[in-house]
């Protein structure tokens, strides 16, 4: 309720008519001359209205005083009611006792629901307003109403009017507004000549949403099928509410396989879910395979065939300009940055581990789209450095985010915001022009309630530091949830540009560096807590084995695994070399997949004393 409407309502005496069935009558303000309903007086004096404020998940207590000005005892029914602005003149109106209670009325509890007040006397009744954790921030007007128990006598037989008076209650729920949606469990099945789509729509935030849903589909070989709006989303989706919805797809393809995407939006909140569809699954699979072979053969014809294809394509040219640029992922160690980078690129370009500070240099992964090319820069975790290596890794992060077009701040959903997160956010607040997206990672590890709390906390963090997130996106790289939505949100923030890398390039990382990282990833598994930071790997050479048949090539890779102290050597090598052998076997599989050729991997363990703190050793190891 806005201030102007409230001021207009202050001058109105008519507040509420609560009538017996079949009757009509008027009601009055907080004092009708016979009795009054007012907030209990405090040390300052009498209060005309309740003015209360509370945070979600808290309660506030007060008391209401009912005063009887007549010469006989009076009995009243006490209840809390929601209020609203009338459509006619914007005046203050209160809902009746039997109407649904949604906000203030539902949250307000009175110690007594009936009270008898002696003649010329007063009675005070305690009240408690308990604000739910999912309560929507903002103003929630209401009233505490005293309705007379028996209708007043009138000259007209059979006509009884029960009068009511009320004290206004203005409740402000504090905290940030954080809209958030989720689309889950999308299913599709053939139904008549069309298809029926069912999906679950959840309001994970703390504001009431009015979502709209659309259906898009991509057919075999990536051909786009016509987009359709979906009927069914409720006019209002309350915080914490979850609904199962149905929609109809009137013209699905008769034979073709299609990937359906249901996307819901309202203001700053958006979410999507996907499902596969085929009216005749076996025939559609055969058709998809045939079209895939045809597409591969067509692309093999080369540039001339490409020109012919473009000449024969009569579809209109896209009007949106192509965009390309750099987006970096930053955050604390082990925040899911590398896993997210790999999920967006669609292949492994950055090593991952459950050990913190796995990433030690920037890794660029390239996402190719028809409308944009996203160059994703995975950075080391920003942390409180204890070594010269730590200081240099932090410098790498700060240098990177100063040069990119978009900054993605990764915050795990399963960990509450800590001092490290707030420290990074404070530094990001000083970067004024670069859009900043808050990415809530690892959503597959938490329930909806915990995710909603994290979204609220992140929104509040930005507000406290004086900036607004361009987007707040919950994702799960492991569960492939909203990963593509994140790419959709990053792309429009990039500058207009032709592609920066050739089609097909997925990273610009040198092969020797990637091989060294794959060896280090394997070495990190199963080592003691203090050892991961002491491991470094350098590939000395990669050379094809001489005198090998052309159809049986072999690549010789010689690499050194460095640790800081002689006592660590035994941990890496293991009993009779078993640990080092296991590292070689695991890493060789990934290296062969990366390079596409058989590999002979020769590993040696060497000591570089205190290399994390030695500038000369750091330079030798590439830092």
Binding residues: 331-338, 378-382, 441-444
Q: How far apart are CA 85 and CA 2, in angstroms?
A: 9
> DSSP letters along 188-210, please?
EEEETTEEEEEEEEEE-SSS-B-
Cα separation, 108 vs 143, whole angstroms: 10
Strands 471-474 and 436-441 come out as parallel
Contact between 45 and 65 under an 8 Å Cβ cutoff? The reply is no
Distance (Å, rounded) from C-alpha 136 to C-alpha 205? 9
Return d(Cα 54, Cα 539) in angstroms, integer.
60
The bridge status of strand 372-378 relative to strand 323-330 is parallel
Query: First vs last Cα of the chain: how many Å apart?
Result: 59
Residue 409: which of 446, 433, 391, 434 has the closest Cα? 434
d(CA 427, CA 314): 50
Cite the annotated binding site for GTP by residue number.
Answer: 331-338, 378-382, 441-444
> E strand or H helix at 83, and its extent?
strand 74-85
**Residue 407 and residue 412: Cα distance in Å, rounded?**
16
At 572, which helix (H) or strand (E)? helix 566-573
Burial of 415 per CB tally in 10 Å (0-12, 13-18, 19+): middle
Tokens representing 612 are: 């994390």
Q: Is 346 left (phi over 0), alpha (psi -120 to 50) or beta?
A: left
Residue 197 · residue 261 · CB < 8 Å: no
- Compute the 3-state secondary structure of the chain and give helix, strand, coil in percent, each to the nearest 5: 25, 35, 40
Cα–Cα distance measured from residue 475 to residue 333, given in angstroms and rounded to the nearest whole number: 18
- Give the rounded distance of the alpha carbon of 484 from its chain centre: 13
DSSP run (H or E) holding 30? none
Which is nearest to 437 in space by CA: 480, 481, 489, 383?
A: 489
CA nearest to 340, candidates 483, 544, 511, 501: 483
**Dihedral sign of CA atoms 563, 566, 571, 575 in order:** positive
Sequence-distant (6+) residues with CB within 8 A of 452 are 134, 178, 180, 204, 205, 206, 240
85, 92 Cβ separation under 8 angstroms: yes
What is the rounded CA–CA span in Å between residue 313 and residue 294?
16
């Amino acid at each position: 309720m806005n201030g102007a409407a409230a001021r207009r309502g202050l001058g109105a005496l008519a507040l509420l008519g609560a009538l017996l069935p079949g009757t009509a009558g008027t009601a009055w303000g907080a004092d009708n001359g016979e009795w009054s309903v007012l907030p209990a007086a405090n040390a300052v004096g009498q209060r005309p209205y309740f003015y209360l404020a509370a945070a979600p998940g808290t309660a506030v207590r007060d008391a209401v005083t009912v005063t009887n000005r007549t010469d006989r005892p009076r009995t009243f029914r006490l209840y809390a009611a929601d209020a609203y602005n009338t459509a006619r003149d914007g005046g203050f109106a209160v809902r009746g006792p039997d109407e649904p209670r949604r906000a203030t009325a539902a949250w307000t509890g009175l110690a007594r629901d009936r009270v008898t007040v002696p003649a010329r006397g007063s009675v005070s009744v305690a009240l408690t307003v308990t604000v739910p954790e999912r309560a929507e921030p903002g103003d929630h007007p209401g009233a505490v109403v005293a309705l007379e128990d028996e209708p007043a006598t009138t000259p007209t037989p059979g006509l009884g009017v029960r009068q009511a008076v009320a004290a206004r209650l203005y409740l402000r729920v504090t905290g940030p507004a954080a809209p958030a949606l989720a689309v889950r469990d999308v299913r599709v099945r053939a139904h008549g000549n069309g298809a029926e789509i069912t999906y679950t729509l959840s309001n994970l935030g703390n504001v009431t949403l009015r979502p709209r849903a659309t259906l898009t589909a991509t057919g075999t070989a990536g051909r786009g099928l016509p987009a359709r709006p979906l009927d069914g989303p409720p006019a209002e989706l309350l915080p914490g509410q979850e609904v199962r919805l149905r929609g109809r797809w009137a013209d699905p393809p008769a034979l073709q396989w299609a990937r359906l995407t249901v996307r819901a939006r309202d203001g700053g909140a958006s979410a999507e879910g996907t499902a596969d569809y085929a009216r005749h699954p076996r025939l559609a699979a055969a058709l998809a395979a045939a079209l895939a072979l045809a597409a591969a053969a067509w692309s093999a014809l080369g540039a001339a065939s490409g020109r012919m294809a473009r000449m024969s394509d009569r579809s209109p040219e896209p009007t949106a300009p192509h965009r390309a640029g750099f987006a970096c992922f930053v955050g604390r160690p082990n925040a899911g940055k590398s896993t997210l980078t790999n999920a967006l690129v669609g292949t492994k370009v950055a090593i991952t581990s459950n050990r913190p500070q796995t990433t030690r240099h920037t890794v660029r992964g390239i996402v190719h789209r028809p409308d944009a090319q996203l160059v994703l820069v995975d950075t080391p975790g920003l942390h409180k450095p204890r070594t010269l290596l730590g200081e240099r890794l932090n410098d790498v992060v700060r240098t990177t985010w100063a040069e990119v077009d978009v900054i993605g701040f990764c915050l795990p959903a399963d960990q509450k915001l800590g001092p490290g997160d707030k420290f990074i956010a404070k530094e990001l607040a000083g970067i004024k022009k670069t859009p900043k997206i808050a990415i809530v990672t690892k959503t597959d590890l938490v329930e909806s309630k915990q995710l909603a709390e994290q979204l609220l906390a992140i929104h509040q963090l930005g507000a406290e530091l004086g900036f607004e997130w361009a987007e707040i996106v919950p994702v799960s790289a492991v569960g492939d949830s909203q990963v593509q939505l994140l790419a959709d949100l990053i792309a429009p923030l990039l500058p207009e540009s032709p592609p920066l890398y050739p089609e097909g390039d997925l990273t610009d990382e040198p092969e020797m560096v990637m091989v060294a990282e794959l060896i280090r990833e394997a070495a990190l598994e199963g080592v003691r807590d203090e050892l991961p930071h002491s491991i470094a790997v350098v590939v000395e050479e990669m050379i094809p084995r001489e005198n090998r048949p052309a159809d049986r090539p072999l690549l010789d890779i010689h690499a050194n695994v460095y640790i800081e102290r002689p006592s660590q050597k035994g941990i890496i090598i293991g009993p009779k070399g078993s640990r080092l052998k296991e590292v070689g076997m695991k890493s060789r599989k990934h290296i062969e997949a990366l390079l596409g050729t058989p590999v002979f991997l020769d590993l040696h363990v060497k000591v570089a004393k205190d290399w994390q703190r030695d500038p000369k050793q750091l330079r030798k190891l590439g830092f």
